[in-house]
Each structure stands twice: as C-alpha cells, then as structure tokens.
Amino acid sequence: MQKKFKVTINNNGLTERDRESVMYALKSKTPQEALSRAESLLSKSKDRIIRLSYYAKLFLKALAISAEDDIAGISG
C-alpha cells in the first residue's frame, strides 16, 4: 500500500513557483516528517516569515491531513 502523504506529494498540481516555496515539505520521507514540515511552513506563513500562495497553503494542509491519516493507520 502506498502512503497517502507520498501520493499527495507526487500529485501536488502546484505551479513551479509554488513548488519552490514548499520544497522543504516535498522532500519529506516519512509521514511524521511531512506533518512536521507542513506545519512548520504554515506557521511561518502565519507569522509572516515567509509568503505562501493560497494554493501552496491548501497543498500543505492536504499534506498534513494525508500524513495524519498515515500516522493513524487510516485507509481509504
């Protein structure tokens, strides 16, 4: 079974610019790492340390949800 977070990463649908802004999260190897990195980038965006587009934020939220599902062992 392929991990949901990997499917989310591989089928991100982001523009090149958005992909560059979330590259840190795209390099995740485990669901825990993906969740941590997504949350970190979203937090930095909220604190206005970095700027993320609406679509980059949506992607990071989807990545976090996928990673949480993988960690919890939810299939579907």
List the one residue out of 2, 7, 75, 67 whose CA is nearest residue 35.
67
Close Cβ partners of 52 (under 8 Å, ≥ 6 residues apart)? 18, 21, 22, 41, 42, 45, 60
Mean pLDDT by 10 residues, the chain (76 residues): 87 96 96 97 98 98 96 80
Q: Does the pTM of the predicted model rise above 0.85?
A: yes
Per domain, the residue ranges of the chain are 4-72
Mean pLDDT, the chain, integer: 94
- Give residue 74's pLDDT: 77
Report the Cα–Cα distance between both ends of the chain, in Å, rounded: 11
Close Cβ partners of 19 (under 8 Å, ≥ 6 residues apart)? 12, 26
